[in-house]
Amino acid sequence: MNESPTDVFSDLAELARTLGHAHRLKLLSHIAQGERSVERLAETCELSVANASQHLQHLRRAGYVQTRRDGKRVLYRLGEGPIGNVLAALRQLADFNRQAIRELLADSRARQDRLEAMSRLELIERLQEHSVTLLDVRPAEEFASGHLPGAINIPLADLERRLGELPAQQEIVAYCRGPWCVLSVEAVAALRERGFKARRLDSGFPDWQAAGLRVEVD
């Protein structure tokens, strides 16, 4: 019986899930340098032997590492297959993303300097006065999981074609995931270029929720 595409992606998801822990990636990185005992790995990675053993068992079950006995010691080595290539690809992707994020944040900070933000307290007052339109520019699935009361959702990618849904005469306050998220910065810049009066919120949905303020869920 042929394996279905769903089964293939389930297997891929399980493999990715196993790597979704910094300790396991660090352990793998050291094992890639050569065989190591659990005691040596624990010391190098600054983990307890018990903790290191637990992570190594996850890696072994997924096929990322193999073991052999050397007297009383158990030695770990990389499993069969292109595991070293996977680690190298992850490092390359991380380096690429770090550079992209640095450039994006630098541009974002420059824009933020030019775009006055609205505080949470001011937003609450303005919402009570019904004098602003609150715009959530996060993806739709994030909005559906929780958003600020009364917000409308237009993801940043859809903003250009949905400008007609926004009031031309009322100030718009855009928000996203928080101070380090650039979605609201990009949205406000785009809205201002098209003649809208717009500002960004100085925080995001997680900050609002953490403050114990009311949220809505679709």
User: DSSP per residue over the chain, as a string?
Assistant: -PPPHHHHHHHHHHHHHHT-SHHHHHHHHHHTTS-EEHHHHHHHTT--HHHHHHHHHHHHHTTSEEEEEETTEEEEEE-SSSHHHHHHHHHHHHHHHHHHHHHHHHHHHHHHHHSPEEPHHHHHHHHHTT-EEEEE-S-HHHHHH-B-TT-EE--GGGTGGGGGGS-SSSEEEEE-S-TT--HHHHHHHHHHHTT--EEEESS-HHHHHHTT---B--
Please tell me the predicted confidence (pLDDT) of residue 5. 60
Domain shared by 49 and 106, yes or no: no
206 and 145 within one domain: yes
pLDDT of residue 116: 74
The domain containing residue 27 runs over which residues?
Answer: 5-81
- Establish if 103 belongs to a structural domain: yes
Residues 72 and 96 in one domain: no
**Per-residue pLDDT reduced to its tens digit, 158-181:** 999 999 999 989 999 999 988 778
132-158: average pLDDT:
93
Which entry of 38, 47, 134, 176 is annotated as an active-site residue? Answer: 176
Q: What is the CATH number of the domain that holds 159?
A: 3.40.250.10
Domain membership flag for residue 68 = yes
Residue 176 known to be catalytic: yes
Looking at the fold, whether 75 and 88 belong to one and the same domain comes out as no
Q: Do both 91 and 63 map to the same domain? A: no
**Among 41-50, 84-93, 176-185, the range of highest mean pLDDT:** 41-50
Same-domain pairing of 132 and 179: yes
Answer yes or no: is 59 within a domain. Answer: yes
Residue 216 lies in a domain: no
* Residue closest to 151 by CA, chosen among 138, 160, 161, 141: 138
Mean of pLDDT values over 29-42 = 86
123 plus 190 within the same structural domain: yes
Into how many domains does the chain fold?
A: 3
